Structure 1
Amino acid sequence: MSERKNYLLTDTGVKAIAKQSAPAKRTRYSDGDSLYLIHDPKGSLYWVMAYRYQSNKDIKSKQKTFHVGTYRSSKQLIDASFKPEVTLKQARSERDNAKTLLADGIDPTEHKNQHKHNFEEKDLFKVIAKSYIDEKSKTTTKNVQKLQGFLDNHILKHLGAYPIGAITTQDIIKTGLAIQASFETQGKHTSETAPKCMGLISSIFEYAINTLGYDIINIAIGRNKALRQHKAERMKAVEQHEFPELLRHIDTYIENHPNGHEQTVAGLQLMTLCFVRTKELRFFEWSEIDYHQSVWRIPAHKMKMRQDHIIPLSPQAMAIIERMRPLTEHTGYVFYNFESNKTYSEAWFNQALQRMGYTGDPYPKMTGHGFRQLASTGLYELKFSKDVIEIQLSHLDQSSVKNRYDLSAHLAERQVMMSQWARHLDNLRAGCAVNFGLLSPEALNIVMTERGRQEMQIVAYEKDTLIHYLKSKGVSQELLMKLADQL
């Protein structure tokens, strides 16, 4: 009898198998010494070890299969970024560990199953998840409720009862697929809940490793690839050519809806000019207005990106805000719902837009968040730069030194942009045609030169204002001259 050969497979060979189309029937590739790579008709590849074991209840030993781990799930693509979940080397190591258990009379499959139920209460995934949520209580209430909902409604039913160190890659993938399937059975094929749940599981693993000191690997990283890709829906918003009519409907809201609030009209008008997130406008406080520079300074704790944000206020925006002063200044908030005696709810703008008919019939669907889409599209068509627009939309991460510099350096450009945007909306209200076609090189040069001149005027004004202020505080002339040179 010829001697059995081991180590028959190679990393390159296994990857080549993974690139093949799924076989018509289950195919087995031997590495020798009882280790096999299984290619499933659904496309997944996984490692198994064949062995015989006789328990106390068995008359004779039985043929059994130990699931070593998955090389590639059926959803994973084999591209440059592909990394196997369990490599050939790791599979051989797990096989050797299982054989050591067999030599000691222990069934490796039973040992693996028992390990999931051998733990302390503090090691349970649900206990660690609760601790993680408690840490998150420092963030917004809405965020905590959302995370808790993901856990209670989707994740804990699959993973909650297991100790975190015993959870496998397949446990996590099966959890994600089960969550995705639950939505697909309801016809919700674009739900983003499953990917967000997978992200939360990964965050809990990171918390266990970095904060609680668990000596485990974050096996949840990258498991989103096992899910069908979520296709984000575009926010509901009217098209640019429908914007003028929307502006006029907002202006006549009280006229057409006598029970409406004046704050609602002002809020919608300010939203068109400033295009902040609805929450930022609902909790807009009088103390956040910088009258010296005509800007609205939103503190970091109110922002989605958790970074301070500046909104230059055009004369039109300031006029709307000042209309609210006699009505709401004593409340501390620019917009205040006196019927409920608190700030307006999340449904504030959407309900008003629905009353105007922006439900899909007779007018297109529109939401409060859609004003950001309208502003983004319009500003790009007005030829403003991407950096300036994205900073104003608070889309850029300003955590780096460079981006914090950009935030300051682009402020004058943003002031020009916000003023021109306000004039653009006035023109739309008046029914003036706006040509968004391509400019000739000469016309574009005139536009950009004028904007540059306006920006230089703003910078020069702020520089002079700062010098006069420091001079009034007794700063020496010599120091002022040095500062002026640097500015």
Structure 2
Amino acid sequence: MIKRKDYQLTDAGVKAIAKQPVPDKITRHSDGNSLYLIQHPNSSLFWQMSYRYQSDKDIKPKQKTYQIGIYKSSKQLIDASFKPQISLKQARMARDKAKTLLADGIDPTEQKNHLKNSYEQRDLFKIIAKIYLDEKSETTSKNVQKLQGFLDNHILKRLGSYPIGAITAQDVIKTGLDIQAEFEKQGKYTSETAHKCMGLISSIFEHAINTLGYDIINLASGRNKALRPHKAKRMKAVEQHQFPELLRNIDNYIEKYPNGHQQTLAGLQLMTLCFVRTKELRFFEWSEIDYHKSVWRVPAHKMKMRQEHIIPLSPQAVAIIERMRPLTERTGYVFYNFESSKPYSEVWFNQALKRMGYTGDPYPKMTGHGFRQLASTGLYELQFPENIIEIQLAHLEQSSVKKRYDLSAHLLERQVMMNQWADYLDDLRAGKAINFDLLTPDEVAEEIQIRNKQATDIAVHDKEALIESLKAQGISKEALIKLAEQL
């Protein structure tokens, strides 16, 4: 009798199979001992185990197939970053567990189905998801409502009734692909929602493991690779040359729409000057203003990056804010919706912009968030350094040492920048020409010299600011001399 060969495949061999041309029909590659790698014409690869099983109802054993899981989906590419969804080692372990069940007279396929229908109420994915969301809302309310929408509209109807320990990687992948398909029917090639839903499922698994003590593997981790990559869309904003007209339309908001709120006018004007995220402006509190330094300090818990953000206030910005004092100071908020007795909702700016016609007709589409893009583009064109602009946009997430240095040493440059930005907007309102066209070769050379000098001046200032900061901390003169030489 010829002994059956086992372990015929290797990790490198499986990857080589994945790189082969797609076959015309389903092809099986044996690892021995009933384990097969199935190569599908759609370029996916998955693991199966063949076995024979005779139930009480069967006259003789039947040939059956146990689905272990996917090695590579049809959407995945074999590149340097590729990781199999279920590796060869994991497939062999799953096969061995199934063999153990068979030895005990248990059908592994029936056992898998039974696990999905035999559970305690507390083990249901929907119950664990609720616990996760409830605990998350205690620490931050940000996005909790949106996450609940992902669960209610997309996830729970597919996974909610399963016990979390019975959910397979294929269940998660199918959920993501189904959500993606829903958006495809709406004419969208990629779906940010599908990717976020997959991330939420993974987070719920992690919560079950790390907080609730479930002895399971996070089978949802990395499964978004089965989806098409999502390409973020450029935020809706007018072009730079259309900015002057937008500024004038904002200034004329009350004149054109007598029923409009003075707060809406002030909010839009302040947004052009400070270009913060809309939520930061909607929940702007009077206590956050530092009148001594003329800055607005947004507390860390309100920021996306969870670090305090400082917005230098130009004289124009201060004037707009002070217009609100008689109206809203008693509420604690700079902007307050007295009709609903709370700060304005997230649609506040967008509704006003739509009212002004920024819907695509007659003007291009524009959103409250679009002011950040206009400011970013404008400040780069005005030749301010990238790190100063990105810090002011609150985009930088840095180490604690560099963060403290940037927030202090660059504050002067940011104050200058914000004041110049306010003056620049006044020029745009007045119709003064700002030329962002292509330059002649001589103008390019001159511009490079100017920018190099500005970069040098800023570097010198940063060096001096760092040394002064270290002096104030009591660093010795000898150490400062050595540091200065290195800088």
Task: Please report the TM-score for the alignment, with normalisation by the length of structure 1.
Answer: 0.89
Q: How does 1:265-344 map to 2 (within 5 A)?
A: 265-344=265-344
1:447 Cα deviation from its structure 2 partner: 6.5
Partner Cα separation in structure 1 for residue 203 and residue 40 of structure 2: 31
Does structure 2 retain, via aligned residues, the 8 Å contact 1:299–1:309?
yes
Does structure 1 retain, via aligned residues, the 8 Å contact 2:190–2:228?
no
Encode CA deviations 1:129-166: one digit per residue, 9 max, x unaligned: 11101111125546221111111211112222222222
Counterpart for residue 380 of structure 1:
380
Residue 346 of structure 2 is aligned to residue 346 of structure 1 = yes
Counterpart for residue 470 of structure 1:
none
Change (3 A) 1:268 1:23: same
1:293 Cα deviation from its structure 2 partner: 0.6
Does structure 1 retain, via aligned residues, the 8 Å contact 2:383–2:451?
no
Counterpart for residue 185 of structure 1:
185
Query: SS in structure 2 opposite 1:67?
Result: strand
Counterpart for residue 393 of structure 1:
393
Which runs of structure 1 show a deviation greater than 4 angstroms over 4 or more consecutive aligned residues?
139-142, 437-461, 479-486
**Range 8-17 or range 334-343, more displaced:** 334-343
Superposed CA RMSD in Å reads 2.9
Partner Cα separation in structure 2 for residue 429 and residue 342 of structure 1: 33
Counterpart for residue 414 of structure 2:
414
Counterpart for residue 106 of structure 2:
106
Number of equivalent positions:
472
Q: Which amino acid aligns with 1:419?
A: N
Partner Cα separation in structure 1 for residue 43 and residue 447 of structure 2: 58
Encode CA deviations 1:258-285: one digit per residue, 9 max, x unaligned: 2222222221111101001112112211
Query: SS in structure 2 opposite 1:337?
Result: coil
Counterpart for residue 246 of structure 1:
246
Q: How does 1:69-218 map to 2 (within 5 A)?
A: 69-141=69-141, 143-218=143-218
1:201 Cα deviation from its structure 2 partner: 0.5
1:84 Cα deviation from its structure 2 partner: 1.2
1:305 Cα deviation from its structure 2 partner: 2.4
Counterpart for residue 50 of structure 1:
50
Counterpart for residue 484 of structure 2:
none
Q: Which amino acid aligns with 1:195?
A: H
Residue 9 of structure 2 is aligned to residue 9 of structure 1 = yes
Change (3 A) 1:450 1:3: closer
Change (3 A) 1:450 1:94: closer
Change (3 A) 1:97 1:2: same
**Range 250-259 or range 444-453, more displaced:** 444-453
Q: Tell me, which stretches of 5 or more residues in structure 2 are unaligned? A: 481-487
Change (3 A) 1:402 1:3: same
1:346 Cα deviation from its structure 2 partner: 2.1
Counterpart for residue 255 of structure 1:
255
Does structure 1 retain, via aligned residues, the 8 Å contact 2:85–2:223?
no
Query: SS in structure 2 opposite 1:363?
Result: coil
Does structure 2 retain, via aligned residues, the 8 Å contact 1:18–1:78?
yes
Does structure 2 retain, via aligned residues, the 8 Å contact 1:190–1:232?
no
1:342 Cα deviation from its structure 2 partner: 3.4
Encode CA deviations 1:197-248: one digit per residue, 9 max, x unaligned: 0000111111112112222222211111101122222111100000011111
Encode CA deviations 1:299-320: one digit per residue, 9 max, x unaligned: 1222222321110111111121
1:422 Cα deviation from its structure 2 partner: 1.0
Does structure 1 retain, via aligned residues, the 8 Å contact 2:359–2:365?
yes
Does structure 1 retain, via aligned residues, the 8 Å contact 2:385–2:455?
no
Encode CA deviations 1:162-207: one digit per residue, 9 max, x unaligned: 2222211111101111111122223333431110000001111111
Change (3 A) 1:239 1:64: same
Encode CA deviations 1:33-63: one digit per residue, 9 max, x unaligned: 2111111122111111111111111011111
Does structure 1 retain, via aligned residues, the 8 Å contact 2:154–2:179?
yes
Counterpart for residue 485 of structure 2:
none
**Range 136-145 or range 12-21, more displaced:** 136-145
Q: Which amino acid aligns with 2:253?
A: Y
Partner Cα separation in structure 2 for residue 29 and residue 188 of structure 1: 37
Query: SS in structure 1 opposite 2:420?
Result: helix
Query: SS in structure 2 opposite 1:116?
Result: helix
Query: SS in structure 2 opposite 1:23?
Result: coil
Does structure 2 retain, via aligned residues, the 8 Å contact 1:51–1:65?
yes
Encode CA deviations 1:393-430: one digit per residue, 9 max, x unaligned: 11222464323432222212211111111111111111
1:449 Cα deviation from its structure 2 partner: 5.8
Does structure 2 retain, via aligned residues, the 8 Å contact 1:237–1:364?
yes
Counterpart for residue 432 of structure 2:
432
Query: SS in structure 2 opposite 1:109?
Result: helix
Query: SS in structure 2 opposite 1:89?
Result: helix
Does structure 1 retain, via aligned residues, the 8 Å contact 2:45–2:73?
yes
Partner Cα separation in structure 2 for residue 235 and residue 396 of structure 1: 19
Does structure 2 retain, via aligned residues, the 8 Å contact 1:398–1:404?
no
Change (3 A) 1:456 1:281: farther
